A and B are shown apart, each in its own frame.
Chain A
Amino acid sequence: MLDTVKTLCYLSGVSGCEDEVRDYILERAMPFASEIITDSIENLLVFKKGRVEPGKRLMLCAHMDEVGLIVTGIDDEGYLKFDFIGGIDRRVVIGKRVYVGHDRIPGFIGIKAFHLLDKDEKKTVPKVGDMYIDIGARSKAEAEKQVALGDVVAFDDVIAEFGDGCLKAKALDDRVGCAVMLKLLEEELPCDTWFAFTVQEEVGTRGANVAAYKLRPDLALVLEGTTAADLPGVDEGKQICSLNGGIVIPFMDHGTIYDRGLFKMLARLADDNHIKWQTKGRITGGTDASAIQRSREGVRTGALACAVRNIHSHACIAKIKDFDDMLELARLFLEEVAND
């Protein structure tokens, strides 16, 4: 499980450019799938037969895309101008390593030296329009040989296990969900299941719209990463969830009031099986559930999430144990659906 998460996080899949992730998942899923569809928006939809055909059509969902940047210009000196893809806090990109385009040209987001700042500059975070990527090019021509407008830019991919069972990597949101679905695909399943590996969640749950319409599920479970703000200096009421609090079963976020029955069922399954869980202590964020829930005549939708610190940065941090707990709870959920 951990190896799968790491491998997936290493791959680049900025929204709209998920190819690397999709290719990898396709290869891993192929031997276990009963049917595979790549749809028009390039979601990867994988069906696997289980022991029983449940009365309700079931879809599990995780998104393949990650937040990143896109090159919008190359200036006269060979520096790259950029904008964000997905919701990125611009405070976390300063001085970070990035990889530009398919050839993974390394670069760094520059900012002038501390010594050269005036008083006001020291206190403010530059606007995105004033930031730039330095790829070490000595001229515009040298930069243009390596980079084109529209190239997507992914964050540094160094992965580290540290502390008390923690993992640092980019894109934990939502490669954890992808990894859980890949592991489930390899197992004998209690019931027929569709696995939707979606695109473009980070720019507005766009892939999930298309996937849910296509698959017409009655029931859906979204596997996600969610913001943990359990830091010193953050009021308890604003911490949302904690890295040590177990798997997150949300009842509501900005996009969705999760199906109450599924919320209760997931909580019961966790309790009965001694899986540590928590819910979100603050209404924030959103998931593919918002698109799935309102697809066609409506879909009963629940979610499991992994608590992640620094979520939309290259330095996401999560507890490794949560990956296994999410897998176990998803397994129990399938069993429950099969027996229903």
Chain B
Amino acid sequence: MNLTEMIKALCSLAAPSGFEDQARKLVRELLEPYVDEMREDPMGNLIAVKKCGKPDAKRLMLDAHMDEVGLIVTGIEKGFLRFATLGGIDPRMLPAREVRILTEEPVFGVIDTMPPHALAPEEMDKAIETDNLFIDVGMSQEQAAARIPLGTAAVFAGGCETLGSSMLCGKALDDRACVAIIIKTMENLKDRDLNLDLYCLISTQEEVGTRGAITGTYSIRPDYAIAVDVTHAHTPDAKKEKTLPMGKGAAIGVGPNMNRSVTELLIETAKDKSIPYQVEVLPSSSGTDGWVIQISRSGVPTGLVSLPVKYMHSPVEMMNVDDAEAIVRLLTEFTLRLGEERSYA
């Protein structure tokens, strides 16, 4: 399975925050050939390790989250489902949106839109709040109540597809594209002799506040960590200074959330190995698992590598595969180099 195929396979799964079973199952299968041990913690994190077998080996942790933003059913009115969001979703993305409701036998639904005549003219220019939107499952109240218990989660319908010459577009690229990047990194390192124990934290519930990474990092107790997540790519309606261009390689985070020497080693590695990269300056929280990893236990020197993605948290997130390939190379080379330079320091 190449990187593109793996991203497509992972994004096709329905695994919103708190409901990550589908993703965890596939990630477990995909990681299995490259690691020595795997376990699941009480938060549902998947923790995998490839051991180097050397005494007093340091631990490097690669982190990406497997959850995606989604919806959760909070009520049923006349057969239509009321819902809240799991993670931050722009309500303007929701009218006339198709969703997959995660009952045992998934149910298809469409978020209906009040037609213009039912609204005052000035309301036409206003975003409809989530509270005023409903999922249409084409059922009566009795049918819906029998099929869909309150608390059932839902995700955007569809998966991810190739667009143009090098783009992928779809839901859940945040952050399964980076989960795939970590798996491909582990594949690259399969037959390499490491000087450190390499942990993967494939975390849960990032979208509701980096919750999985809190317990996962505590449990792994890493000496170094790299959070791998998505960042905002440039779009015509966004400010250039708040976004990064696509196609310029791995985005290496610089700022207080990131350990200076880890960041420098990432940049040096990219330079030495001619891996395309760009610097992303983050003056405060990176908004990633890296934020909680950094202060786990007595602190973890943490770096951040990001994949630029357009339209984040929408069903049409977009990425450039070349950027993802660059990150796989960077993480591979960084792991080898960190092992050489720091393991016995």
- Bound pair (A, B): yes
Are the CB atoms of A310 and B110 closer together than 8 Å? yes
Q: Chain A interface residue count: which class?
A: 35 or more
CB-contact partner of B316 in A97, A137, A244, under 8 A: A97
| Of B117, B126, B137, the contact of A229 (CB 8 Å cutoff) | B117
A232 surroundings in chain B (CB, below 8 A): 77-78, 80, 134
How many residues of B are in contact with the other chain, CB < 8 A? 64
Residues facing A in B96-129 (CB within 8 A) are 96-98, 107-110, 112-118, 124-128
Report the separation of the CA atoms of residues A108 and B316 in the bound assembly, to the nearest whole angstrom. Answer: 7
Looking at chain A's contact residues, the main secondary structure is: loop
Given contacts A95-B316, A232-B77, A232-B80, contact A317 B110 (CB under 8 A): yes
Which chain A residues lie closer than 8 Å to B114 at the CB level?
229, 231, 233-234
CB < 8 Å A-B pair total? 196
Q: How far is the CB of A305 from chain B (nearest CB, A)?
A: 14
Which residues of A lie under 8 Å from residue B145 when comparing CB positions?
Answer: none
A301 beta carbon closer than 8 Å to chain B: no
Q: Is A31 an interface residue (CB 8 A)?
A: no
Instruction: State which of B17-25, B262-270, B272-280, B305-313 sits at the interface with chain A.
Output: B305-313
Residues of chain B within 8 A of A113, CB atoms compared: 90, 232, 235, 238, 310-314
Contact A114 B89 (CB under 8 A): yes
User: Contact between A108 and B128 (Cβ–Cβ < 8 Å)?
Assistant: no
Known: A108-B316, A110-B311, A111-B314. A311 touches B236 (CB 8 A): no
Q: Contacting chain A: which of B44-52, B59-67, B239-247, B291-299?
A: B239-247
B88 at the interface (CB under 8 A from A): yes
**B136 touches A (CB below 8 Å):** yes
Q: B131-146: contact bitstring with A at CB < 8 Å (1 yes, 0 no)?
A: 0101011111001000
Task: Give the one of B112, B115, B161, B164 with max A CB within 10 A.
Answer: B115
Q: Are A136 and B127 in contact (CB under 8 A)?
A: no
Residues of B within 8 A of A309 (CB): 110, 112, 136
A116-B238, A163-B107 given; name 17 further pairs at CB < 8 Å. Answer: A77-B236, A106-B163, A110-B310, A113-B232, A114-B93, A122-B90, A122-B127, A124-B127, A134-B235, A136-B165, A163-B138, A231-B80, A232-B134, A309-B112, A310-B115, A311-B115, A317-B138
* Residues of B participating in the A interface, judged by any CB pair closer than 8 Å: 77-78, 80, 88-90, 92-93, 95-98, 107-110, 112-118, 124-128, 132, 134, 136-140, 143, 157-158, 161, 163-167, 169, 232, 235-239, 242-243, 246-247, 287, 310-316, 318
A selection of 17 A-B contacts at a CB cut-off of 8 Å is: A77-B236, A107-B163, A111-B311, A113-B238, A117-B90, A125-B124, A126-B237, A132-B237, A136-B318, A231-B80, A231-B134, A309-B110, A309-B136, A310-B96, A310-B115, A313-B113, A317-B138
